[in-house]
Amino acid sequence: MARWLAIAANAGRVLAGLLIVVGALYLADDFSIRYGVPAARQAFGTVQVNKFVAVPLKSGKTEFVPGGSENRICVNSPFPHLGYDPCWYLERHKDRRQNL
């Protein structure tokens, strides 16, 4: 029984340490985006995103109507900041769906 308690305590310490490391990375990245450190790095970028409108039909099926494309501002960062998605995420999810 004591062995399981020791394992659980170690797992809790590892999880707490991991959360601290991820939190520190996020704060350092946020500082970098807000204050332009390093100055040579571009903090923001743009990605062209395709929009589709999902129209429900009476038969229960959904018809997708192209809604054009738009350039979206993104952050060159591993985390979302300032209300913008990361550029790596938008590059992989270029199709946006809007439900009616």
Record the pTM. Answer: 0.78
Q: Which two tokens stand for residue 36?
A: 């332009």
Rg (CA), the chain: 21
- 99 neighbors 82 (Cβ within 8 angstroms): no
Q: Provide the 8-state DSSP code for 89.
A: H
Write the pLDDT tens digit of every residue in 31-81: 999 998 888 889 999 999 999 999 999 999 999 999 899 999 999 999 999
Write the pLDDT tens digit of every residue in 4-41: 888 888 888 999 999 999 999 999 999 999 998 888 88
Q: How many domains does the chain have?
A: 1
Identify the domain containing residue 53 by its residue range: 2-99
Per DSSP, the three-state class of 37 is: coil
C-alpha span between 80 and 89 (Å, rounded): 9
